[in-house]
Every structure is written in C-alpha cells, then in structure tokens.
A and B are shown apart, each in its own frame.
Chain A
Amino acid sequence: MTVVISILLTCVCSFLLYVVLLHKVKEHRQYVTGLLSVDTIQTKLQKGFRGFVFCLDVVGYPNTKNWVKPLKQIIEQQGLELLVFDGHIIFSDRMEIAHMLKIKTHPCIVAVNMDDQYAEQMIVHQLHINQDITDIQQFITNKLSVIKS
C-alpha cells in the first residue's frame, strides 16, 4: 500500500512539475523565436545600421529579456535601434555578421554606426539571475553621442 501511494503521489507531483516546465520552455522559446532572423540582421547591418547590438547567450539564459528590456527603452528613446541575437548562432552559422561587427567573443554589446564603420564593443558577464546592468547602462550612455553624431 505504501509503495502504491508513494508512486501515485510522486507521479502526480511530477506531472504538475512537467506542466510548469512546459510553460517555462514555451515562454523562453517564444522570446528566442521572436528575435530577428540572422538574414534580417545582416540586411540591416548592410543598409547602414546605427544603434546597439546585443550579441548574447539568449538560448542559455532565460532571464535575458528581463534585463534587456530597460536598456532597449533607453536606446529607443534616443531614436536608435537595438538588435538582439544569440552569439552561438552567429558564430556557428553566420560569421559574416561577427566580422562586420568586429566581434571576436561573446556575450558582448556593440555600439554600431555602420556609416562610419564604427563598432566598439563591451564584453558582458552574463548571469542567470540579477544581472547587474550598471556598467552596460554606462557604456550605452557614453556611446550614444558617438553613434548619433
């Protein structure tokens, strides 16, 4: 009897956990698939992009969208664009983008002005939770005037 109850109880709990995990996976997948495709990014860069590029580990870190959101607002308020993509995909599938942005390693943030061939990057130490964005915010603020001019 103890065996049956234990198995039933653990199976019910496992099923509930499975449902929660399915939801978490779905949420993360929606964010990743909602990002611009590598083709679109490449076209944008070739057409003279001005703004910031976040080359991150989007697949590996589910909380990325949380800390990117306030930074996106700062950038867009200045009339500039923000591109977010997964570094692994760029380095394995589309090295041209890495060359265009002079990216050698990731995760990183790049201030870009393709008209002037300007691309300056900052390496980011991506964390699972409570990502400290103070340094990134500082970098963006410093580069805003350079990119806009």
Chain B
Amino acid sequence: MIISIIIWIVSIVIAFLYYKSFVQKLRTPYTFSYIVSMYQLGKYQLPISIATRLAPLLIVTELLTAVWILLPWTRLYGFTLGSILQLLFITVMFMNMNRSFPYGCGCFKMNAPSKITPPHLWGNLALFVVQVVLVIVIVVVG
C-alpha cells in the first residue's frame, strides 16, 4: 500500500517535470532544434537539417513519457522511456560540459543564454536513477 502511494506521488512529480519541459519546447520548437544542432558529439556537430527532425521527436517523446508515466497500466513503459531519454541527455550534457548556449541548453529554460554545469548533470542523473529504481520496483512488486 505504502509503496503504491509512493509510486503514485513520484509518478505525478516526474510526469509533471516532463510535461513542463514539453510545454517549454512546444512554444518554440525551432529554437529547440537550433539548440540541438549546437550540441557537439565529440568533433561532430549535428547538422541543422537533422536537428530540425530530431528535436520535434524529442519534444513528442517527452509528452509520451509524461502520459505513459501517469497511466498506471503503461507506467513501466513510461519509466523505461524516461530512463532512455535521461541517459541520452546525460551523455550529451557530459560531452558539452561548461559550454555556453546563447538560446539556453534546452534543459528546462529556453531563450536565455545558459551554460551546462554539473548541477544540470546531477539533476538529470537523479531523474535517471529514480526512474530505473521505479522500473525495478514495478517489475518486482508487480
């Protein structure tokens, strides 16, 4: 019973976080595409033509994650998808640590210049760990 209540509370909080992030990006999807194109993966930088297709996909995935997490019968898939998303964010953030982005890093705030700092990474890592733990709990408890 207590575990179930905790799962519900954490689910609502995480779903809200993804929904908030989705709404932010939904307002200016091109800006988010531009931000995505500015991330460097080693020496490689994503061309804007690919970023304009990938960024809307990420935006939609965030909403999908929020919805799946909220529905009890799809929660397991929601947390799995969320974990994959976080892993992706953590990887690109780590590769772009201390880099400045004129339109923001696309994390939660947009249009304001920002720099990727360790707290950004820790926040995403915490979200990843919580979701992985919840996946295990849901699988074990059922």
Contacts and interface: CB of A to CB of B under 8 A. Distances in A.
Given A2-B73, A6-B71, A21 B27 contact: no
B27 A128 contact: yes
A59 B103 contact: yes
Query: How many A residues touch the partner, as a band?
Result: 20 to 34
Contacts of B27: 128
Nearest to A15: B60
A143 interface: no
Interface of B is mostly: helix
B68 A62 contact: no
A62 B30 contact: yes
Contact of A10 (B29, B67, B102): B67
B108 to A, nearest CB: 15
Interface residues of B, number: 29
Contacts of A2: 73
Interface string A51-69: 0000001011110000000
A7 B63 contact: no
Interface string B29-53: 1110110000000000000100011
B98 interface: no
Interface of A: 2-3, 6-7, 10-11, 14-15, 17-18, 21-22, 24-26, 28-29, 32, 57, 59-62, 88, 91-92, 128
